[in-house]
Amino acid sequence: MTVSERDALAQITPGLVVEDPVMGYWLAQVNLRLRRELAWCWLQRTGQSDPNTGALPPFTGVADDMLAWSRSDGQRKHFFREDGTAAYLTELIETPAPEPYSHTRGDWSWLATELNLGEADQFVLALAVAYRLDAGLGPVCAACLNDINKAYPTLALAQRLWGWPEAVLDLASSFHALRRCALLGAQSTDWFQPLAVPAWAVASLSGGYERLDGVEAITPRPSKLPDNWAVPLHGLSEPLESLRRIPLLGERDEDFLGICAAIAERLSVTIVTVSPATWQRADPAQLLSWAWLCGVEPLLPWGVKVSPETWPLGTPLRVWQPMSTHQYQAVEVTAGAQAPLTLPTIDFHRRLDVLHESLGNNAARYRHEVEECARRFRFSEPALRRIALTLNHQGVWQGEDLIEACRAETRGELAQLTQKVEPRFKPEELVLAAEQEQQFQEVSRAMDALTRVHFHWGTARAWNESGLSVLFCGPPGTGKTMAAEALASRLKLDMFRVDLAQVVSKYVGETEKNLRRIFDAAEASDCLLFFDEADALFGKRTDVKDAHDRYANIEVSYLLERMERFKGLAILASNRRKDMDEAFMRRLRYVIEFPVPGVDERERIWKQGFPEQVDTSDLDFRFLARQFAFSGGHIRSVIFNSCLQAAAQPESSPAKAKVGKPSMRQVLVQVRRELQKLNRATDDELFGRYAALLKENAA
């Protein structure tokens, strides 16, 4: 068969030329078998041979047609051998396939070899490709299927056209190579669903290359890669046999493009970037199969989440997937995943240099704030430069604006893992004994000096740039949470409370995973991390008696290790210090005991607890402080309840309603209620000279 004859037989629509003779052969097989089937359809439905008028045979019932095919299979085969037109077409159909035209990547012969496609597989693929190339194929398919609504090729049609129907059965499985590589579509496994081939696959098989919008090739360039990547990259040079996903761990603003350009140079491969918009609108399996067919390796958008079911796992392709460390730790390890490559973080001195370069003269003006930001926020170079550029565009800015701009970059992620706390108290509102007040000030001064001591005095290397971990312990209501909020207010730090309900899990390893995500997010930001009821997490390790003890000890050991490496400010509050693991004591920089306040402290709490709008001239604060040994929390509960009762009393004028004035009796009634709550004695002797007030109007 000459090239011109083959081209003429490979199409319904004139003028379509296929350069690859192997692809042309299989397209001709489609055309020849369709023509032969049409001749049989004329005889079966009208009782006469093809009149050669160019018209298609008439439509009859689909069910009748299928039953007739079953009844007359022998007659059909006889017709193909004896009828003049059908016999001529059968002779052409039996022409052997030509030798491979080439084994260029993406062409027909290469694909057949790579996927180990048999003749039936190649015919079905050709049937689907022909429908993409030839606009005249649809009505012919409908006529052969005897269904005007199915003007497209199907597996049912392929089974009818191919001489051995059982050979087509494998293509109905989603595990077939053509479906697994998204060349036929994994969803179209129904016998009467369209056989769909992506346009990019047809372009590649036809000798072309369809460029996708939002996909750009990275120009390889030599660049220094991390020294510890030498061995992993050498392992990546081995030939691929299946899908390999390479996680690149770093922050959102890392120079993944530059890293991949250097990797492309090292491995002599072509890496292409995929824009977020392209990834969202594309079918992941088809996009990755396109990359495999074209011989390129895609660099996905940062942090995309991909369901394992969407990956074409049988495709020998390498995919580069940038994500943060906690994103990688949060996902399950799936097929095709490989050990991650972690981008090195820049140290304090490099962060400081980047800020000086980006901020110009303002860096010297706000030297202290610049150094604080370089220590507190472990950003990548692009992120630091972007923050500096934003501030410079504002024109005039202060040092606090730099810290706030850095803090704004980190809030979102940590807020998803913990509970944001808005500090309600200032240090001057905190009522502590002299010793506790001094310790509180020491913690505050230590945080102010951390940058200087670590990076000017040189303790950062020995102490791993560690921050401060502080334990607030004491009975309930003694001011531990209030002190943490006051410290956050004094240091101008965001405060986040760790919710134990979201952290502790009954499943093995989940608690450590949750804590890892919290610590990683907190270390990248500048905040106060508050662990309330810390003894629930930081309890003592026990002797291993069963598997539960062993895994509980693993959790505590992990916490010990993370606390020692934590670079921020962590406040642990506990009512039961004795239940804490002793190993934590060495890792805590400060331990502040919050005892029940003395008489003088209680009097200050009583006076400060009432709002300024409340008239307290009738109250005997000294008596209340001396007579009732309440903690600060209980005193505030009495104050609040007293205000509620005072506000409920009718006032003689609107002016008086705006200024509250609780009576001594109302306060003492609420004191009694609080004592009853605590299951303490409420004898008249306890209320002294005010006992008579409680008997007035007693119900």
| Cα 379 from chain centre | 19
| pTM score of the predicted model | 0.64
pLDDT at 3: 47
Tell me the per-residue pLDDT of 213-232, one tens digit each, with 9 for 90 and over: 788 888 888 878 888 888 88
Q: Is the same domain home to 655 and 606?
A: yes
Split at pLDDT 50, 70, 90, the class of 329 is: low
pLDDT at 122: 93
Most confident of 58-72, 207-221, 546-560, 633-647: 633-647
Q: Is the same domain home to 147 and 290?
A: no
**Domain final residue, candidates 184, 205, 226:** 205
492 located within any domain: yes
Query: CA-CA distance, 279 to 358, in Å (whole number)?
Result: 33
Q: Is the same domain home to 333 and 236?
A: yes
Region 239-262: what's the mean pLDDT?
84
- Number of domains composing the chain: 5
pLDDT at 165: 81
569 located within any domain: yes
Residue 579 DSSP one-character state: G
168 located within any domain: yes
Q: Is the same domain home to 444 and 525?
A: yes
Strand ranges across the sheet with 341-342: 215-217, 271-274, 297-299, 318-323, 244-249, 341-342
Q: Is the same domain home to 42 and 168?
A: yes
Q: Is the same domain home to 530 and 605?
A: no
210 located within any domain: no
Region 500-514: what's the mean pLDDT?
73
User: CA quadruple 409, 512, 563, 487: dihedral positive or negative?
Assistant: positive
pLDDT at 33: 92
pLDDT at 524: 72
* Residue of 279, 282, 313 whose CA lies nearest to 299: 279
CATH number at residue 664: 1.10.8
Query: CA-CA distance, 632 to 431, in Å (whole number)?
Result: 9
Residue 182 DSSP one-character state: T
Q: Is the same domain home to 194 and 294?
A: no
526 located within any domain: yes
Tell me the per-residue pLDDT of 624-647, one tens digit each, with 9 for 90 and over: 999 898 988 899 999 999 999 888
Portion of the chain with pLDDT greater than 90, in percent: 13
* Residue of 176, 200, 237, 177 whose CA lies nearest to 106: 200
Most confident of 279-293, 407-421, 596-610, 684-698: 596-610
pLDDT at 24: 87
**Domain final residue, candidates 158, 175, 205:** 205
289 located within any domain: yes
Query: CA-CA distance, 486 to 428, in Å (whole number)?
Result: 8
The better pLDDT of the pair 520, 120 is held by 120
Per the CB < 8 A criterion, the answer to whether 498 and 420 are in contact is: no
Split at pLDDT 50, 70, 90, the class of 117 is: very high
The better pLDDT of the pair 55, 247 is held by 247
CATH number at residue 553: 3.40.50.300
Q: Is the same domain home to 551 and 673?
A: no
Q: Is the same domain home to 546 and 675?
A: no
570 located within any domain: yes
Residue 679 above 60 pLDDT?
yes
* Residue of 63, 94, 68 whose CA lies nearest to 81: 94
Residue 299 above 70 pLDDT?
yes
Q: Is the same domain home to 124 and 193?
A: yes
**Domain final residue, candidates 417, 452, 467:** 417
3-state secondary structure of 389: helix
Write out the residue range of the structural domain in which residue 226 sits.
215-342
CATH number at residue 312: 3.40.50
Q: Is the same domain home to 151 and 16?
A: yes
Lowest mean pLDDT of 220-224, 478-482, 488-492, name the range.
220-224
Residue 209 above 70 pLDDT?
no
| Cα 621 from chain centre | 56
pLDDT at 150: 87
Average pLDDT over the chain reads 81
Query: CA-CA distance, 318 to 236, in Å (whole number)?
Result: 9
Query: CA-CA distance, 274 to 279, in Å (whole number)?
Result: 7
Q: Is the same domain home to 233 and 285?
A: yes
Region 475-485: what's the mean pLDDT?
90
422 located within any domain: no
Residue 699 above 60 pLDDT?
no
Residue 188 above 60 pLDDT?
no
Cβ contacts of 80 within 8 Å, gap of 6 or more: 36, 40, 86, 87, 89, 90
User: CA quadruple 288, 289, 294, 295: dihedral positive or negative?
Assistant: positive
